[in-house]
Amino acid sequence: MRLVALGVVTALVLTGCGGGPAVQGSASSSAVPTTGSGTTPPVSLPGDGGSIPDCDAFPRVTASPDAYADTPLYLANEMPTAEVQAWARTQPGFETIWIDRDHNGWITVAFSEDAEARQTDLERNFPGVGVVAVAVDWHVADLHRLQTRVTNELLTFLDNFSTGSMDDRGVVTIGVGVLTDDLRSRIEDSFGGERVCLEGRDPSTVPAPGPQPVAGDGWRLLVDEPSVGQPYRTGIATDPESLEALWATIGLDDPPPEVDFITEVVIWFGAVYSGSCPDIRLDDVVVDGSVVHALIVEPNPQSGCTDDANPRAYVVAVERSRLPVGRFVIQLDADGPPAGAPEERTVVDADLSQPGAVAMPGQIGPDPSLPEPYVVESGAFIEPGFPVPYNLYTHCGIEWLGEFNGYAFRTTEPLPPEWQTVVTDETIEVSLLLLTDPEPAIEASAASVTVTYRPTLDPLPGCD
């Protein structure tokens, strides 16, 4: 989900990106293994002197390019990770294991000793499996121990932060809400040169602190209610009757305020925030061409959030003179609805810029051009064995299905005659079934006819 608010998670234990524990400030760290060398080697990755590099500067550990091949391709989680890990745990120097989606979903096994010998063993014990051994100069147990020390020290001068162990990079992460120069210097004094990295918001991108504005250019705030209504929603009222209906849809208890519908309309922004990070603020109502959207900011960004989506109802009166002339849409931000929430966008097929104009039934509703929440789009990740609906655009033929699970899918089969009978507006609604055995493929079915698509490393071409 796209969340409008990202912020602090109090007393929360997270999962680190590389498999190690992640600890939120003011939380107790999890138990740490007692094996390992006892100290982590100095950072030899990005950063100079005693400075701490940004976390996105650390690449994932990989094998040499000639260790990988174009096949096998893993589409989901069908690779035999458990079997490889069970074997690796019995080998000297085993540290950790992860899936490398940048290399066709191959398994990476990290060893702190004799990695070349382990590669030979992997090829002998797991023929045909995409798996590589990599050499690392650190121990996972030491990373976890370093994370515990970092957590304990940060608790002495920070109220909000997060830490994690990215085992696939060999680094402990330190996350803060806003990474000021003073805070960076303080952390570098404690951990500069160690296997840690920093992440946080640039202070120049953080909104100025302050209370919720009650008005702006051409708008005034009527309602600001957390935990009311639904997230990812918008709506509009153009007269007293539609205002009553909008009030009921939102679920507001107090009666609607007085609104001069000759000069104003009422717009609802059903914003969304994390339950652990409720600090959001409506700063403005923006009219950009034919789009009316809210400007919702985080005045006090935090280092982490739970990913639950909670509603916050902002209801505003907007001057008609500010509205676009003719048809327009309402949405939460400039980018539009996230995947799976098409109901966020409200289409207004009426000119409400005129004094007292009222939208008729059928002139306000969802955007029919957006897919329903249960229809997947190209670029999605789909699970094997579960059919999902998909709209296949046929303007350029059916050779290319789209991109799924990181791969483009292609067929050599012609357009079936049965499919031609169900084409609507150059689109066929097909049912996709992802297969991983015996070979990776997607079966697309419509009109009782199935076309098989295979993954390819070739890029998905455009369609004019």
For 144-174, the DSSP string reads HHHHHHHHHHHTTT-SS-EEEEETTTTEEEE
Nearest CA among 299, 310, 203, 338 for reference residue 7: 299
Nearest CA among 301, 294, 351, 308 for reference residue 328: 351
Instruction: Tell me the two tokens of residue 360.
Output: 């008729």
Looking at the fold, whether 172 and 238 belong to one and the same domain comes out as no
Predicted confidence at residue 371, as pLDDT, reads 79
The C-alpha atoms of residue 427 and residue 13 are separated, in whole angstroms, by 46
Instruction: Tell me the two tokens of residue 3.
Output: 């969340």
Looking at the fold, whether 42 and 177 belong to one and the same domain comes out as yes
Point out the residues of the chain with pLDDT beneath 70. Answer: 1-50
Predicted confidence at residue 50, as pLDDT, reads 52
The answer to whether residues 354 and 320 touch, using CB atoms and an 8 Å cutoff, is yes
Looking at the fold, whether 53 and 198 belong to one and the same domain comes out as yes
Instruction: Tell me the two tokens of residue 427.
Output: 């689109």
The amino acid present at 433, given as its one-letter code, is: L
Of 366, 399, 416, the residue at which a domain comes to its end is: 366
Predicted confidence at residue 308, as pLDDT, reads 87
Looking at the fold, whether 319 and 437 belong to one and the same domain comes out as no
Looking at the fold, whether 330 and 434 belong to one and the same domain comes out as no
CB neighbourhood size of 62 (10 A): 16
Looking at the fold, whether 38 and 178 belong to one and the same domain comes out as yes
The C-alpha atoms of residue 376 and residue 370 are separated, in whole angstroms, by 11
Nearest CA among 144, 164, 158 for reference residue 190: 158
Strand partners, 364: 348
Nearest CA among 429, 427, 397 for reference residue 413: 397
373 found inside a domain: no
Looking at the fold, whether 300 and 251 belong to one and the same domain comes out as yes
Looking at the fold, whether 336 and 435 belong to one and the same domain comes out as no
The C-alpha atoms of residue 197 and residue 173 are separated, in whole angstroms, by 5
Of 135, 152, 174, the residue at which a domain comes to its end is: 135
1 found inside a domain: no
Looking at the fold, whether 83 and 40 belong to one and the same domain comes out as no
Angle at 81 between CA 76 and CA 87, to 5 degrees: 170
379 found inside a domain: no
234 found inside a domain: yes
For tokens 């104003």, the residue is 264
Strand partners, 106: 100
Predicted confidence at residue 58, as pLDDT, reads 84
321 found inside a domain: yes
Tell me the Cα Rg of the chain: 27
Q: 193 CB contacts (<8 Å, ≥6 apart)?
A: 42, 43, 49, 50
144 found inside a domain: yes
Domain count, the chain: 4
Looking at the fold, whether 193 and 309 belong to one and the same domain comes out as no
Predicted confidence at residue 26, as pLDDT, reads 35
Of 336, 366, 396, the residue at which a domain comes to its end is: 366
Q: Which domain holds residue 304?
A: 215-366
The C-alpha atoms of residue 71 and residue 128 are separated, in whole angstroms, by 9
Predicted confidence at residue 160, as pLDDT, reads 83
Looking at the fold, whether 125 and 146 belong to one and the same domain comes out as no
For the packed helices 81-88 and 115-125, what is the interaxial angle rounded to 10 degrees? 130
CB neighbourhood size of 42 (10 A): 12
The answer to whether residues 325 and 292 touch, using CB atoms and an 8 Å cutoff, is no
The C-alpha atoms of residue 367 and residue 181 are separated, in whole angstroms, by 45
The C-alpha atoms of residue 297 and residue 293 are separated, in whole angstroms, by 13
331 found inside a domain: yes
Looking at the fold, whether 244 and 352 belong to one and the same domain comes out as yes
Instruction: Please give the model's pTM, rounded to 2 decimal places.
Output: 0.75
372 found inside a domain: no
Query: What are the angstrom distances between the C-alpha of 163 and each of 54, 148, 244, 313, 327?
Result: 14, 9, 48, 33, 48
Burial classification of residue 31, based on how many CB atoms lie within 10 Å of its CB (0-12 exposed, 13-18 middle, 19 or more buried)? exposed
The C-alpha atoms of residue 326 and residue 179 are separated, in whole angstroms, by 44
